[in-house]
Amino acid sequence: MKLKLMLWWLGVMLKRARSRKAAFRESLEKFQRFDWGVATEDLSIARHYRMTPQAVHSDTGLPVDLTLELRFRDADSATRFLRKPSQRAFREGLFDGRLRLVGDSRDLERLQGLLKYL
C-alpha cells in the first residue's frame, strides 16, 4: 500500500512541477512526449505517467507502449529506492538485481534530468 501511495504522489508532484517550474516545462519541450512507468516484477503494483509540455497524466497499470519502464523486484525495494533516487542508487539497483530497466538507458538519463526538478 505504501508503494501505491508513493507512486500516486509522484504523479501529483510531476503535475505540480509542470505547472510551477519553467525549467521542467522546457525539458519536456525537448522531448515533446515522455511516457514511462514503475512496477514490481509481478505487476501487482504498477503506475504509468504520460508527460507532454501541455499536461502530465498518471494512471494505474503498465501499457505496452511506454518509452521506459522501471521494474523492481518487490515493493520494499521500490519504496527504498524511490525515497532517495540518485544515479548511484540506479546503478547499484541494476547491478544487484533489485531494479530492471525496460527501454533505452538514454531515456533513464532523461527521466533523471526531469526528476531533479521535483
Note every long-range contact of 54-57, with CB atoms under 8 Å and residues 24 or more positions apart, other chains counting. 55/15, 55/18, 56/11, 56/14, 56/15, 56/18
Cross-sheet strand order for the sheet of 34-40: 56-60, 46-51, 34-40, 68-72, 99-103
Is 25:117 a contact under the CB 8 Å cutoff? no
* Element containing residue 70 per DSSP (H, E): strand 68-72
The ranges of the chain with pLDDT < 50 are none
**Per the structure, how many domains does the chain have?**
1
Q: What is the pLDDT of residue 31?
A: 84
Residues present in the chain in total: 118
Structural domain of 95: 2-115
Q: What is the pLDDT of residue 104?
A: 86
Q: What is the pLDDT of residue 13?
A: 94
Q: What is the pLDDT of residue 37?
A: 95
Radius of gyration of the chain (CA): 13
Q: What is the pLDDT of residue 94?
A: 87
Q: What is the pLDDT of residue 86?
A: 77
Alpha helices in 1-118 (DSSP H): 2-20, 22-31, 75-83, 87-96, 105-115
Q: What is the pLDDT of residue 91?
A: 84
CATH code of the domain in which 22 resides: 3.30.1050.10
